[in-house]
Chains A and B, each alone.
Chain A
């Protein structure tokens, strides 16, 4: 069956009733590739793209509230450096116009650029069930393992919340300028209270934060010495592998390079 509900309640009801037998469908830019490449054949689809307000992005009381279906093209316009820049490095224009933030969270790839950016700003993911209602969990609790998340089989991702007042920075290293899979990517955020988040993609089975390095900066501030100590710490904390895209040595070294580069950027610029 191919369900195409027009109301959120209807979508939640179908998902609640059918659980993992039904596959939520956003832009399809991950699902369709998986179907083409593997033997995976979803029994039923739940197309969410016709829900009202599915792509809305609004400002609410010091927060950005992203509907699940917000596309990368939309996120690219947000005045939030890490998320906007990350969004603009996803795929090419066609992928950015169709790929959604919920899809990125649903796939939960360690190379998910959106996931890394959200990790750096302590975003909250909103998971909703037809009868149990809505729960909001911090992003770092959302990822639980390699392509595993806290999303239950009968829930849908309905939105993402993030604060508007963080300073952030982003960098992605890839082999080309567009349609570019990250070899390593990093998003850093700093709250007005001085909280520091340093998130990395492609250097562990899940999108990760380098917490020891964060502590160094939170404690000592963005001094040259602290930045260097944080960079050294990052290189010990990450666990990259050798694969056909890049070597572990290279990825590890790049984590250090990006630590220095992005921390300095946070120091110099009053970024959004």
Chain B
């Protein structure tokens, strides 16, 4: 077993320079001299068929809802608050218990001894069942159990909850008002994050131009198709839950804590899962199922949400209000950025603190800004709790910094591309946190996207008089992994089983993104066996090791490395066996195409199956474990600076071309180019799939997706009014994969997950601005909002009024 702690060596860097020193234009490291020039011989880099493809296409894969029909004894349903903010006076269960088939109704009082009754991924501040207050319309108040699904629904509707209304805190302004009711003991500011780098005020004062804007981003739902569903049972010793999630081991820990069980008494087995996007990082039905299972030993309990319950219960993407000021010299060189962000935490914090930190550390993206001043505040309201979602604070900030580049270019009368080119970081430059980026390929991505954009002959259709065409661009960077010193590790086991097949064990969750192929292809590559010989066993806390969450764009880098480390250990065993068998030093042998072959003597050949058999006879373990646990360094509390806040950075650039109907405000995306530097595409088709899906989601965020909250009431908890993009709204996404090997990634791979969404939204907004001559500041840019940009006097809620209370660049840190 090899521990790869700090397995990555960051190249030696010159002494830290002061923030005002001239910016380097020559790369510190030439991106072309990278470690994996020799291409892999096996499946790495090939679009191997998906391991889970056939069963998903045939419909034989079992999702949470499939288990439900097959195996349930009892059914459970949650009684949810109809109030956004209220004290619970009384929960009357008498009527519910009279419904034939209803077995029991449980409230917070029924939690087992030792149970914390709390959930929340980072801050565990959310009661699983409300104790005395409800803080959003959707908070869980009680659980009903019945023998049939019909009875449980009737029972749920028969529970009477008496409330005493409390004033509803509907938005930032309500929350920050002086007489606002306190939603949590410490008040309505959940927390904050700041960055202090150089002297932003002084630099602004000396700037030739200053541009300010306030951006308002919306609340977004994950809208995965596979609605929360699953089963659980307690056999007296072990609570087994089959519930879709994104991080089986953390779900086990959180479920155990909430229910007061030892961690060993909970086993999470993740079924086939259809999408997550961060929406499964917080617990969903795990603790409810667990509680009911504990009360009914031996019985299989089933639960499933409707789409409406899924939307009303689940956390959302943080809506943000971003006050952004930049200063620049006449030639476009950025001098300073001053940024204040308010983030709607909703009722509970969950991952809020991490989202705030990510927003701060990504607040100037891939731009060279020597002086930066950032305050980010999380503000509690009576809206849905917020938490993880693809982009995680970074996507809102990308809307802002890309939007500022367009505004600055307009103010300076400069070409947008030239302005970007002047200010993008080069290899060896620092991002906002002061972390130096050894291989920065922002410009390379931008140029590749532009090349693709210009390469196609212009076959744009002629426009009607009320139509305007425009194009826009985004360039983003993204730190992968949890970063900021947060413990982050992946573990994997690779072994040959009794049948001679190669098995890979990972705790990571496959929810459609392609984790199984990534892990399988790397193991097969390392051991030289055909990909068809590999099985991947995943996300079962009883059989696999903790591999961290399938989120933060981290699994290819982290689990990919863990698998590679384990596989290379196992490879040494196999080579050792071969060496003994052939009488040569193992170094003289190589493994590929299912054989051990002599490097210098082609006549030396033994099939790997034979070596495995031989190894078993010779008592080799034929199994190895890999741990990948690189360290990051916490950002300094006062300055937000860290030499290594993230393990590595990803770069991307998107270009959108739109046609806007300037009379109706309708926007049509005509062309879309997504260019990403992924280090190395382990499976190019999966990578392109992530790019297309992410870009689609980003187009949705730019143009239509929005959870509409009205005084704590969700107006659109359904897909009739929560508008997701359809095929008609998304053109062919032209994908451009750039590969600059990452020195620490498996085969040079970095990752892909989140950046496609992050880069897409600002590209579309930029294109709209280019078409109509007014830069958007509020998302989504649905027809009405575009029309309001052109007719601000007609706006439903005037833009300025919406920004009335929350101070611009405030200082609220105590």
A-to-B contact residues, CB < 8 Å = 37, 92, 173-179, 181, 183, 242, 244-247, 249-250, 253-254, 257, 261
Contact = CB atoms under 8 A, between A and B. Distances in A.
A90 to B, nearest CB: 13
A245 B794 CA distance: 16
B664 A257 contact: yes
Q: Which 3 pairs of residues, A with B, have the shortest CB-CB distance?
A: A177-B728, A247-B796, A244-B715
B734 interface: no
24 contacts: A175-B723, A175-B782, A175-B783, A176-B704, A176-B723, A176-B726, A177-B727, A178-B728, A178-B729, A183-B783, A244-B708, A244-B715, A246-B783, A249-B794, A249-B795, A249-B796, A250-B787, A250-B788, A253-B787, A253-B794, A254-B664, A254-B787, A257-B664, A261-B466
B213 interface: no
Contacts of A254: 664, 787
A176 B729 contact: yes
Given A176-B703, A244-B715, 4 more contacts: A176-B728, A250-B784, A250-B787, A261-B466
Contacts of B796: 242, 247, 249-250
B725 interface: yes
A261 B721 contact: no
A173 B728 contact: no
B791 interface: yes
B794 A244 contact: no
A106 B725 CA distance: 29
A254 B661 CA distance: 12
B734 to A, nearest CB: 19
Contact of B726 (A92, A181, A244, A249): A92
Interface of B: 466, 663-666, 668, 703-704, 708, 710, 715-716, 718, 720-721, 723-729, 782-784, 787-788, 791, 794-796
Contacts of A242: 796
A244 B783 contact: no
A238 B176 CA distance: 39
Contacts of A250: 665, 783-784, 787-788, 794, 796
Nearest to A260: B663
A178 B794 CA distance: 27
A176 B668 CA distance: 9
A173 B726 contact: no
Nearest to B720: A181
B710 A244 contact: yes
A244 B716 contact: yes
Given A92-B726, A261-B466, A247 B784 contact: yes
B671 to A, nearest CB: 15
Contacts of A175: 703-704, 723, 782-783
Contacts of A176: 703-704, 723-726, 728-729
A179 B726 contact: yes
A37 B719 CA distance: 12
Nearest to A257: B663
A110 B107 CA distance: 44
A174 B720 CA distance: 12
A250 B703 CA distance: 17
Contacts, number: 63
Nearest to A245: B721
A267 to B, nearest CB: 14
A178 B726 contact: yes
A89 B33 CA distance: 54
Contacts of A177: 668, 726-729
Nearest to A242: B796
Nearest to B464: A261
A179 B724 CA distance: 10
Contacts of B720: 181
A248 to B, nearest CB: 8
A176 B699 CA distance: 11
A185 to B, nearest CB: 11
Nearest to B726: A178
A37 B716 CA distance: 13
Contacts of A174: 783
B541 to A, nearest CB: 36
Contacts of A178: 726-729
A214 B784 CA distance: 27
Contacts of B666: 173
Contacts of B729: 176-178
A177 B723 CA distance: 11
Contacts of B710: 244
A109 to B, nearest CB: 12
Contacts of A183: 783-784
A242 B716 CA distance: 15
A37 B663 CA distance: 35
A177 B725 CA distance: 8
Nearest to B728: A177
A257 B662 CA distance: 10
Contacts of A246: 783-784
Contact of A261 (B663, B728, B783): B663
Residue in A179, A181, A247, A250 with the greatest tally of chain B CB atoms within 10 Å: A250
B326 to A, nearest CB: 32
Nearest to A250: B784
Nearest to A37: B718
Contacts of A253: 787, 791, 794
Contacts of B704: 175-176
A175 B726 CA distance: 11
A179 to B, nearest CB: 6
A177 B784 CA distance: 15
Residue in B665, B715, B718, B724 with the greatest tally of chain A CB atoms within 10 Å: B665
A173 B783 contact: yes
Contacts of B665: 250
Nearest to B662: A257
Contacts of A179: 726
Residue in B666, B724, B727 with the greatest tally of chain A CB atoms within 10 Å: B666
Nearest to B797: A247
Residue in B664, B665, B723 with the greatest tally of chain A CB atoms within 10 Å: B664
B792 to A, nearest CB: 12
A253 B716 CA distance: 24
A100 B474 CA distance: 45
Nearest to B719: A179
Contacts of B783: 173-175, 183, 246, 250
A176 B664 CA distance: 13
A8 B710 CA distance: 48
Nearest to B704: A175
A247 B663 CA distance: 16
B768 to A, nearest CB: 15
Residue in B466, B710, B727, B782 with the greatest tally of chain A CB atoms within 10 Å: B782
A131 to B, nearest CB: 40
A240 to B, nearest CB: 12
Nearest to A173: B664
A244 to B, nearest CB: 4
Nearest to A177: B728
Contacts of B787: 250, 253-254
A190 B348 CA distance: 58
Contacts of B728: 176-178
A194 B647 CA distance: 73
A88 to B, nearest CB: 11
Contacts of A249: 794-796
Contacts of B784: 183, 246-247, 250
Contacts of B725: 176
A250 B795 CA distance: 8
B670 to A, nearest CB: 12
